[in-house]
Structure 1
Amino acid sequence: MLSRRHLLYAAGLPVLAATGCTPADPPRTGNDAPPTPAPTRSPVTAAPARLPREIPGLGPRIRARVPADARQALVVTGTSRRSSASTAVLYERGPDGWRGGPPWPAHNALRGWTHHHTAGDLRTPTGVYGLSDAGGLDPDPGTRLPYDHGPAFTATGRGYEGEPLAGSFDYVVAIDYNRKPGTTPLDWTRPLGDARGGGIWVHVDHDGPTSGCVSLAKPHMRTLLRSLDPRKHPVTVMGPEDWLAR
Protein backbone atom coordinates (compact mmCIF):
# COMPACT_ATOMS: atom_id res chain seq x y z
CA MET A 1 0.00 0.00 0.00
CA LEU A 2 1.30 3.47 -0.87
CA SER A 3 1.70 5.86 2.00
CA ARG A 4 0.17 9.32 2.05
CA ARG A 5 3.57 10.77 1.21
CA HIS A 6 3.87 8.60 -1.90
CA LEU A 7 0.32 9.50 -2.94
CA LEU A 8 1.13 13.22 -2.77
CA TYR A 9 4.26 12.73 -4.86
CA ALA A 10 2.21 10.83 -7.37
CA ALA A 11 -0.31 13.68 -7.56
CA GLY A 12 2.46 16.21 -8.23
CA LEU A 13 1.86 18.10 -4.97
CA PRO A 14 4.80 19.65 -3.04
CA VAL A 15 5.82 18.14 0.24
CA LEU A 16 7.25 20.27 3.14
CA ALA A 17 9.73 18.62 5.42
CA ALA A 18 8.71 18.79 9.02
CA THR A 19 11.82 20.57 10.29
CA GLY A 20 10.17 23.34 12.26
CA CYS A 21 11.79 26.03 9.99
CA THR A 22 10.06 28.51 7.72
CA PRO A 23 9.72 26.97 4.29
CA ALA A 24 11.84 28.30 1.48
CA ASP A 25 10.31 30.84 -0.89
CA PRO A 26 8.68 29.23 -3.92
CA PRO A 27 10.53 29.54 -7.21
CA ARG A 28 9.99 32.96 -8.89
CA THR A 29 8.69 33.23 -12.42
CA GLY A 30 9.32 36.02 -14.88
CA ASN A 31 6.02 37.65 -13.88
CA ASP A 32 6.87 37.86 -10.20
CA ALA A 33 7.79 41.26 -8.78
CA PRO A 34 11.22 41.43 -7.10
CA PRO A 35 11.15 41.46 -3.33
CA THR A 36 11.06 44.84 -1.67
CA PRO A 37 14.47 45.52 -0.04
CA ALA A 38 14.49 46.07 3.68
CA PRO A 39 14.60 49.75 4.59
CA THR A 40 18.02 51.03 5.60
CA ARG A 41 18.82 53.77 8.07
CA SER A 42 20.54 56.92 6.91
CA PRO A 43 24.10 57.11 8.17
CA VAL A 44 24.52 59.43 11.14
CA THR A 45 26.84 62.34 10.34
CA ALA A 46 29.27 63.01 13.17
CA ALA A 47 29.13 66.50 14.61
CA PRO A 48 32.23 68.56 13.80
CA ALA A 49 34.76 68.73 16.60
CA ARG A 50 34.53 71.90 18.63
CA LEU A 51 37.50 74.22 18.53
CA PRO A 52 39.11 75.09 21.86
CA ARG A 53 38.14 78.53 23.12
CA GLU A 54 41.61 78.92 24.62
CA ILE A 55 45.01 77.96 23.22
CA PRO A 56 45.80 74.41 24.41
CA GLY A 57 48.66 74.05 26.86
CA LEU A 58 48.47 77.60 28.22
CA GLY A 59 47.49 78.15 31.83
CA PRO A 60 45.45 81.14 33.03
CA ARG A 61 48.45 83.31 33.93
CA ILE A 62 50.06 82.94 30.51
CA ARG A 63 46.73 83.27 28.65
CA ALA A 64 46.20 86.59 30.40
CA ARG A 65 49.36 87.89 28.72
CA VAL A 66 48.06 87.24 25.21
CA PRO A 67 46.64 90.54 23.86
CA ALA A 68 42.89 90.54 23.32
CA ASP A 69 43.30 91.58 19.69
CA ALA A 70 45.78 88.80 18.85
CA ARG A 71 44.24 86.36 16.38
CA GLN A 72 47.44 84.50 15.50
CA ALA A 73 49.83 82.92 17.99
CA LEU A 74 52.98 80.92 17.35
CA VAL A 75 53.26 78.77 20.47
CA VAL A 76 56.79 77.45 21.05
CA THR A 77 56.83 74.77 23.75
CA GLY A 78 60.17 73.72 25.17
CA THR A 79 60.76 70.18 26.38
CA SER A 80 62.18 71.47 29.68
CA ARG A 81 63.78 74.59 31.09
CA ARG A 82 67.31 73.43 30.19
CA SER A 83 66.54 71.75 26.86
CA SER A 84 67.20 73.20 23.41
CA ALA A 85 64.48 71.02 21.84
CA SER A 86 61.01 72.45 21.35
CA THR A 87 57.86 72.26 19.24
CA ALA A 88 56.07 75.13 17.49
CA VAL A 89 52.40 75.33 16.51
CA LEU A 90 50.77 78.25 14.72
CA TYR A 91 47.26 78.94 16.05
CA GLU A 92 44.64 81.20 14.52
CA ARG A 93 41.54 82.43 16.32
CA GLY A 94 38.20 82.50 14.55
CA PRO A 95 34.64 83.06 15.80
CA ASP A 96 34.48 79.46 17.09
CA GLY A 97 37.85 79.34 18.87
CA TRP A 98 41.52 78.65 18.20
CA ARG A 99 42.52 76.35 15.35
CA GLY A 100 46.05 74.94 15.47
CA GLY A 101 48.22 73.91 12.56
CA PRO A 102 50.58 70.93 12.48
CA PRO A 103 53.38 70.72 15.08
CA TRP A 104 56.78 71.79 13.79
CA PRO A 105 60.03 70.55 15.38
CA ALA A 106 62.08 73.52 16.58
CA HIS A 107 65.25 74.48 18.40
CA ASN A 108 65.76 77.13 21.05
CA ALA A 109 68.89 78.26 22.85
CA LEU A 110 71.75 76.00 23.90
CA ARG A 111 71.08 76.41 27.63
CA GLY A 112 67.29 76.36 27.42
CA TRP A 113 65.02 79.13 28.68
CA THR A 114 65.16 82.12 31.01
CA HIS A 115 62.66 84.54 32.54
CA HIS A 116 65.34 87.29 32.61
CA HIS A 117 67.38 87.19 29.42
CA THR A 118 70.77 88.89 29.34
CA ALA A 119 73.24 89.31 26.51
CA GLY A 120 75.28 86.18 25.93
CA ASP A 121 73.48 83.92 28.43
CA LEU A 122 72.67 81.41 25.64
CA ARG A 123 69.06 81.16 26.79
CA THR A 124 65.81 82.00 25.01
CA PRO A 125 63.57 84.55 26.77
CA THR A 126 60.19 83.22 27.88
CA GLY A 127 57.12 85.37 27.33
CA VAL A 128 54.57 86.73 24.89
CA TYR A 129 55.98 88.96 22.15
CA GLY A 130 54.77 90.51 18.91
CA LEU A 131 55.82 89.31 15.47
CA SER A 132 55.87 92.47 13.43
CA ASP A 133 58.82 92.45 10.99
CA ALA A 134 60.63 89.98 8.73
CA GLY A 135 63.54 89.73 6.37
CA GLY A 136 66.14 87.42 4.94
CA LEU A 137 68.84 86.60 2.47
CA ASP A 138 66.25 85.00 0.19
CA PRO A 139 63.61 87.11 -1.61
CA ASP A 140 60.25 87.73 0.03
CA PRO A 141 58.29 84.43 -0.19
CA GLY A 142 54.95 86.25 -0.11
CA THR A 143 54.56 87.50 3.44
CA ARG A 144 52.24 90.30 4.53
CA LEU A 145 54.81 91.46 7.08
CA PRO A 146 57.31 94.19 6.14
CA TYR A 147 60.23 92.26 4.60
CA ASP A 148 63.85 93.44 4.48
CA HIS A 149 65.77 91.55 1.79
CA GLY A 150 69.52 91.81 1.48
CA PRO A 151 73.01 90.33 1.89
CA ALA A 152 73.28 91.56 5.49
CA PHE A 153 71.35 88.39 6.44
CA THR A 154 74.24 86.15 5.37
CA ALA A 155 75.09 83.62 8.12
CA THR A 156 78.57 82.16 8.44
CA GLY A 157 80.53 79.92 10.80
CA ARG A 158 79.45 76.85 12.70
CA GLY A 159 76.97 76.12 15.46
CA TYR A 160 77.42 74.61 18.91
CA GLU A 161 77.39 71.07 17.56
CA GLY A 162 79.73 71.82 14.66
CA GLU A 163 76.94 72.23 12.12
CA PRO A 164 77.30 74.92 9.41
CA LEU A 165 75.23 78.05 9.95
CA ALA A 166 74.99 78.96 6.28
CA GLY A 167 71.36 79.57 5.30
CA SER A 168 70.14 80.20 8.85
CA PHE A 169 69.02 83.73 7.99
CA ASP A 170 67.54 82.96 4.59
CA TYR A 171 64.22 83.77 6.30
CA VAL A 172 63.78 85.48 9.66
CA VAL A 173 60.90 86.90 11.69
CA ALA A 174 61.91 89.31 14.43
CA ILE A 175 60.55 88.53 17.89
CA ASP A 176 59.68 91.82 19.58
CA TYR A 177 61.89 91.24 22.61
CA ASN A 178 63.95 94.34 23.46
CA ARG A 179 63.59 95.85 20.00
CA LYS A 180 61.68 98.61 18.25
CA PRO A 181 58.74 97.17 16.30
CA GLY A 182 58.24 98.52 12.83
CA THR A 183 61.93 98.39 11.91
CA THR A 184 64.09 95.88 10.07
CA PRO A 185 65.15 92.85 12.13
CA LEU A 186 68.68 94.22 11.70
CA ASP A 187 67.88 97.34 13.74
CA TRP A 188 69.85 97.16 16.99
CA THR A 189 67.78 99.61 19.06
CA ARG A 190 67.51 98.12 22.58
CA PRO A 191 64.77 99.81 24.66
CA LEU A 192 65.74 97.76 27.76
CA GLY A 193 69.44 98.46 27.27
CA ASP A 194 72.21 96.46 25.65
CA ALA A 195 72.73 94.30 28.75
CA ARG A 196 69.35 92.67 28.22
CA GLY A 197 70.36 91.29 24.85
CA GLY A 198 68.34 91.31 21.66
CA GLY A 199 68.30 90.14 18.08
CA ILE A 200 65.93 87.31 19.04
CA TRP A 201 64.45 85.90 15.84
CA VAL A 202 62.56 82.96 14.43
CA HIS A 203 64.89 81.77 11.68
CA VAL A 204 65.83 78.76 9.55
CA ASP A 205 66.98 75.73 11.55
CA HIS A 206 70.61 74.64 11.23
CA ASP A 207 70.17 71.29 13.01
CA GLY A 208 71.44 72.49 16.36
CA PRO A 209 70.81 74.79 19.35
CA THR A 210 70.68 78.56 18.87
CA SER A 211 72.18 81.42 20.87
CA GLY A 212 68.74 82.68 21.91
CA CYS A 213 66.49 82.44 18.87
CA VAL A 214 63.88 79.88 17.80
CA SER A 215 64.59 77.96 14.60
CA LEU A 216 62.31 76.05 12.22
CA ALA A 217 62.95 74.00 9.08
CA LYS A 218 63.04 76.18 5.98
CA PRO A 219 59.73 74.92 4.51
CA HIS A 220 58.04 75.68 7.83
CA MET A 221 59.59 79.16 7.91
CA ARG A 222 58.21 79.76 4.43
CA THR A 223 54.74 78.64 5.58
CA LEU A 224 54.98 80.82 8.68
CA LEU A 225 55.92 83.90 6.65
CA ARG A 226 53.06 83.36 4.22
CA SER A 227 50.59 82.82 7.08
CA LEU A 228 51.38 85.73 9.39
CA ASP A 229 49.08 88.71 8.88
CA PRO A 230 49.71 92.02 10.68
CA ARG A 231 45.97 92.68 10.65
CA LYS A 232 45.63 89.69 13.01
CA HIS A 233 48.24 91.08 15.43
CA PRO A 234 50.39 87.92 15.55
CA VAL A 235 52.36 87.07 18.67
CA THR A 236 54.64 84.31 19.83
CA VAL A 237 54.05 82.60 23.16
CA MET A 238 57.16 80.70 24.18
CA GLY A 239 58.74 78.90 27.08
CA PRO A 240 59.14 75.46 28.65
CA GLU A 241 56.00 73.35 28.87
CA ASP A 242 55.56 73.60 32.64
CA TRP A 243 55.92 77.39 32.58
CA LEU A 244 53.40 77.80 29.75
CA ALA A 245 50.87 75.76 31.76
CA ARG A 246 50.91 78.20 34.70
Structure 2
Amino acid sequence: MSDQQTETRSELPDSHPPVVSRAEWDEAWQQLLVKEKAATRARDALAAERRRMPWLAVEKDYAFDGPEGKASLLDLFGGRRQLIVYRAFHEDGVFGWPDHACPGCSMVADQVAHLAHLNARDTTLVFVSRAPQADIARLQARMGWGHIPWFTVTDGFDKDFGVDEWHGHNVFIRDGSRIYRTYFVNSRGDEQMGGTWNYLDITPLGRQEEWENSPEGYPQTPTYKWWKWHDSYVEGAVPDKKWVEVSDAGEAAFRDSL
Protein backbone atom coordinates (compact mmCIF):
# COMPACT_ATOMS: atom_id res chain seq x y z
CA MET A 1 0.00 0.00 0.00
CA SER A 2 1.35 3.41 -0.95
CA ASP A 3 1.77 6.23 1.53
CA GLN A 4 -1.26 7.97 -0.05
CA GLN A 5 -3.41 4.91 0.59
CA THR A 6 -2.36 4.55 4.22
CA GLU A 7 -5.46 4.69 6.42
CA THR A 8 -5.55 7.69 8.77
CA ARG A 9 -5.49 6.54 12.36
CA SER A 10 -8.45 7.64 14.48
CA GLU A 11 -7.73 10.24 17.13
CA LEU A 12 -10.69 9.03 19.20
CA PRO A 13 -10.23 6.65 22.14
CA ASP A 14 -10.90 2.99 21.31
CA SER A 15 -13.55 2.93 24.05
CA HIS A 16 -15.89 5.40 22.33
CA PRO A 17 -19.58 4.42 22.06
CA PRO A 18 -20.73 2.44 19.02
CA VAL A 19 -21.78 4.14 15.80
CA VAL A 20 -25.43 3.22 15.11
CA SER A 21 -28.30 3.86 12.71
CA ARG A 22 -30.57 6.90 12.99
CA ALA A 23 -33.39 4.76 14.44
CA GLU A 24 -31.10 3.30 17.09
CA TRP A 25 -29.73 6.77 17.90
CA ASP A 26 -33.27 8.18 18.27
CA GLU A 27 -34.23 5.33 20.60
CA ALA A 28 -31.16 5.90 22.77
CA TRP A 29 -31.88 9.64 22.89
CA GLN A 30 -35.50 9.07 23.91
CA GLN A 31 -34.41 6.74 26.73
CA LEU A 32 -31.97 9.32 28.04
CA LEU A 33 -34.55 12.11 27.66
CA VAL A 34 -36.82 10.37 30.18
CA LYS A 35 -34.05 10.62 32.77
CA GLU A 36 -33.20 14.20 31.81
CA LYS A 37 -36.82 15.31 32.24
CA ALA A 38 -36.88 13.62 35.65
CA ALA A 39 -33.72 15.55 36.56
CA THR A 40 -35.35 18.80 35.42
CA ARG A 41 -38.43 18.16 37.56
CA ALA A 42 -36.21 17.28 40.51
CA ARG A 43 -34.29 20.53 40.01
CA ASP A 44 -37.55 22.51 39.94
CA ALA A 45 -38.69 20.77 43.13
CA LEU A 46 -35.39 21.59 44.80
CA ALA A 47 -35.72 25.25 43.80
CA ALA A 48 -39.25 25.27 45.27
CA GLU A 49 -37.86 23.89 48.52
CA ARG A 50 -35.10 26.49 48.43
CA ARG A 51 -37.74 29.25 48.25
CA ARG A 52 -39.11 27.95 51.53
CA MET A 53 -35.80 27.93 53.40
CA PRO A 54 -35.80 30.01 56.59
CA TRP A 55 -34.13 33.41 56.46
CA LEU A 56 -31.27 34.68 58.62
CA ALA A 57 -31.38 38.35 59.65
CA VAL A 58 -28.18 40.27 58.91
CA GLU A 59 -27.51 42.14 62.14
CA LYS A 60 -24.13 43.74 61.36
CA ASP A 61 -23.27 46.66 59.13
CA TYR A 62 -20.78 45.92 56.38
CA ALA A 63 -18.71 48.39 54.40
CA PHE A 64 -17.35 48.07 50.88
CA ASP A 65 -15.35 50.25 48.54
CA GLY A 66 -16.94 50.77 45.14
CA PRO A 67 -16.33 52.75 41.96
CA GLU A 68 -18.22 55.65 43.50
CA GLY A 69 -16.79 55.40 47.02
CA LYS A 70 -17.99 53.76 50.21
CA ALA A 71 -21.00 51.45 50.03
CA SER A 72 -23.03 49.46 52.54
CA LEU A 73 -24.50 46.01 51.98
CA LEU A 74 -27.83 47.74 51.45
CA ASP A 75 -26.25 49.91 48.75
CA LEU A 76 -25.16 46.80 46.89
CA PHE A 77 -28.83 45.97 46.22
CA GLY A 78 -28.97 48.95 43.87
CA GLY A 79 -32.55 49.62 44.97
CA ARG A 80 -33.72 46.14 44.00
CA ARG A 81 -35.30 43.56 46.29
CA GLN A 82 -32.85 40.67 45.85
CA LEU A 83 -29.06 40.55 45.87
CA ILE A 84 -26.58 37.84 44.84
CA VAL A 85 -23.01 38.40 46.01
CA TYR A 86 -20.21 36.32 44.49
CA ARG A 87 -16.89 36.33 46.33
CA ALA A 88 -14.13 36.30 43.71
CA PHE A 89 -10.50 35.87 44.73
CA HIS A 90 -8.47 38.77 43.38
CA GLU A 91 -5.92 39.95 45.92
CA ASP A 92 -2.29 39.78 46.90
CA GLY A 93 -1.26 36.17 47.45
CA VAL A 94 -3.78 34.68 45.02
CA PHE A 95 -2.37 32.91 41.94
CA GLY A 96 -2.33 35.35 39.03
CA TRP A 97 -2.07 38.53 41.11
CA PRO A 98 -2.02 41.34 40.12
CA ASP A 99 -2.72 40.77 36.43
CA HIS A 100 -5.41 38.13 36.89
CA ALA A 101 -7.94 36.88 39.41
CA CYS A 102 -8.08 33.25 40.52
CA PRO A 103 -8.51 31.06 37.39
CA GLY A 104 -11.65 29.42 38.80
CA CYS A 105 -13.24 32.73 39.78
CA SER A 106 -12.31 34.06 36.35
CA MET A 107 -14.16 31.16 34.74
CA VAL A 108 -17.23 32.13 36.78
CA ALA A 109 -16.93 35.76 35.66
CA ASP A 110 -16.69 34.68 32.03
CA GLN A 111 -20.06 32.92 32.31
CA VAL A 112 -22.11 35.89 33.56
CA ALA A 113 -25.05 36.60 31.26
CA HIS A 114 -26.36 40.07 30.47
CA LEU A 115 -27.49 41.52 33.79
CA ALA A 116 -30.49 43.38 32.36
CA HIS A 117 -32.49 40.15 32.57
CA LEU A 118 -31.72 39.62 36.26
CA ASN A 119 -32.42 43.26 36.98
CA ALA A 120 -35.84 42.88 35.33
CA ARG A 121 -36.66 40.33 38.02
CA ASP A 122 -35.77 42.84 40.78
CA THR A 123 -32.42 41.11 41.34
CA THR A 124 -28.88 42.50 41.47
CA LEU A 125 -25.66 40.52 41.01
CA VAL A 126 -22.35 41.86 42.31
CA PHE A 127 -18.84 40.50 42.72
CA VAL A 128 -16.68 41.32 45.74
CA SER A 129 -12.93 40.86 46.28
CA ARG A 130 -10.20 42.03 48.64
CA ALA A 131 -8.30 43.86 45.89
CA PRO A 132 -8.38 47.67 45.88
CA GLN A 133 -10.72 49.30 43.40
CA ALA A 134 -7.89 50.41 41.11
CA ASP A 135 -6.78 46.79 40.68
CA ILE A 136 -10.35 45.60 40.15
CA ALA A 137 -10.97 48.26 37.50
CA ARG A 138 -7.78 47.29 35.70
CA LEU A 139 -8.78 43.61 35.80
CA GLN A 140 -12.28 44.35 34.49
CA ALA A 141 -10.86 46.37 31.60
CA ARG A 142 -8.38 43.64 30.69
CA MET A 143 -10.87 40.77 30.87
CA GLY A 144 -14.01 42.47 29.54
CA TRP A 145 -15.89 42.31 32.84
CA GLY A 146 -16.87 45.96 33.06
CA HIS A 147 -20.56 45.05 33.09
CA ILE A 148 -20.25 43.32 36.48
CA PRO A 149 -20.59 45.59 39.54
CA TRP A 150 -17.48 44.76 41.56
CA PHE A 151 -16.77 45.94 45.11
CA THR A 152 -13.89 45.70 47.58
CA VAL A 153 -14.39 43.88 50.90
CA THR A 154 -13.05 46.06 53.74
CA ASP A 155 -14.19 44.18 56.85
CA GLY A 156 -15.28 40.71 58.00
CA PHE A 157 -18.01 40.18 55.41
CA ASP A 158 -16.15 37.33 53.71
CA LYS A 159 -15.47 35.47 56.94
CA ASP A 160 -18.98 35.98 58.30
CA PHE A 161 -20.54 34.55 55.15
CA GLY A 162 -18.24 31.60 54.54
CA VAL A 163 -16.20 32.98 51.66
CA ASP A 164 -12.95 33.98 53.33
CA GLU A 165 -11.08 30.89 52.12
CA TRP A 166 -13.14 29.73 49.14
CA HIS A 167 -15.38 31.27 46.52
CA GLY A 168 -19.18 31.20 46.84
CA HIS A 169 -22.50 32.93 46.18
CA ASN A 170 -24.50 34.44 49.05
CA VAL A 171 -28.10 35.44 48.41
CA PHE A 172 -29.97 38.17 50.25
CA ILE A 173 -33.40 39.77 50.24
CA ARG A 174 -34.41 43.05 51.80
CA ASP A 175 -37.55 44.42 53.39
CA GLY A 176 -36.94 48.14 53.33
CA SER A 177 -33.59 48.48 55.09
CA ARG A 178 -33.81 45.08 56.79
CA ILE A 179 -31.60 42.48 55.11
CA TYR A 180 -31.88 38.69 55.30
CA ARG A 181 -29.55 35.96 54.11
CA THR A 182 -31.60 33.35 52.26
CA TYR A 183 -29.17 30.96 50.57
CA PHE A 184 -25.52 30.05 50.04
CA VAL A 185 -23.79 27.92 47.40
CA ASN A 186 -20.08 27.29 46.82
CA SER A 187 -17.56 24.82 45.41
CA ARG A 188 -19.09 22.77 42.56
CA GLY A 189 -22.43 24.47 43.13
CA ASP A 190 -20.85 27.58 41.61
CA GLU A 191 -20.27 25.74 38.33
CA GLN A 192 -23.92 26.11 37.31
CA MET A 193 -23.95 29.86 37.89
CA GLY A 194 -23.77 32.41 35.10
CA GLY A 195 -27.11 31.98 33.33
CA THR A 196 -30.11 34.11 34.24
CA TRP A 197 -32.36 31.16 35.14
CA ASN A 198 -29.79 29.46 37.33
CA TYR A 199 -29.22 32.69 39.22
CA LEU A 200 -32.96 33.19 39.72
CA ASP A 201 -33.35 29.60 40.89
CA ILE A 202 -31.18 30.31 43.94
CA THR A 203 -33.11 33.44 44.93
CA PRO A 204 -35.96 33.43 47.48
CA LEU A 205 -38.48 34.67 44.88
CA GLY A 206 -37.31 32.36 42.10
CA ARG A 207 -38.03 33.07 38.44
CA GLN A 208 -41.33 34.67 39.47
CA GLU A 209 -43.33 32.86 36.79
CA GLU A 210 -46.79 31.37 37.27
CA TRP A 211 -45.77 27.74 36.75
CA GLU A 212 -43.44 27.77 39.76
CA ASN A 213 -44.39 26.21 43.07
CA SER A 214 -43.92 29.21 45.35
CA PRO A 215 -45.49 30.28 48.64
CA GLU A 216 -48.83 32.10 48.49
CA GLY A 217 -48.51 35.78 47.62
CA TYR A 218 -45.10 35.59 45.93
CA PRO A 219 -44.76 37.78 42.81
CA GLN A 220 -45.44 35.80 39.64
CA THR A 221 -46.11 36.77 36.05
CA PRO A 222 -47.13 34.72 32.98
CA THR A 223 -44.40 32.47 31.62
CA TYR A 224 -42.08 34.11 29.06
CA LYS A 225 -44.01 37.41 29.01
CA TRP A 226 -41.38 39.39 30.90
CA TRP A 227 -38.59 38.37 28.51
CA LYS A 228 -37.22 41.19 26.36
CA TRP A 229 -34.14 42.11 24.39
CA HIS A 230 -31.59 43.26 26.92
CA ASP A 231 -31.71 46.82 25.56
CA SER A 232 -35.51 46.99 25.66
CA TYR A 233 -36.47 46.72 29.33
CA VAL A 234 -38.63 49.70 30.19
CA GLU A 235 -40.45 49.85 33.52
CA GLY A 236 -44.19 49.39 33.10
CA ALA A 237 -43.95 48.52 29.41
CA VAL A 238 -46.70 46.29 27.98
CA PRO A 239 -45.40 43.10 26.29
CA ASP A 240 -45.30 43.31 22.50
CA LYS A 241 -48.50 41.82 21.00
CA LYS A 242 -46.60 39.61 18.55
CA TRP A 243 -44.34 38.29 21.33
CA VAL A 244 -47.44 37.48 23.40
CA GLU A 245 -48.75 35.33 20.54
CA VAL A 246 -45.42 33.56 20.06
CA SER A 247 -44.86 33.04 23.77
CA ASP A 248 -48.40 31.72 24.26
CA ALA A 249 -47.58 28.91 21.85
CA GLY A 250 -44.26 28.34 23.59
CA GLU A 251 -45.92 28.31 27.00
CA ALA A 252 -48.29 25.55 25.92
CA ALA A 253 -45.34 23.43 24.80
CA PHE A 254 -43.53 24.30 28.04
CA ARG A 255 -46.43 23.13 30.19
CA ASP A 256 -46.65 19.89 28.20
CA SER A 257 -43.00 19.26 29.07
CA LEU A 258 -43.45 19.67 32.84
Using structure 2 for the length normalisation, give the TM-score. 0.27
**When you count strand as a share of all residues, which structure comes out higher?**
1
| Larger CA Rg, structure 1 vs 2 | 1
Using structure 1 for the length normalisation, give the TM-score. 0.28
**When you count helix as a share of all residues, which structure comes out higher?**
2
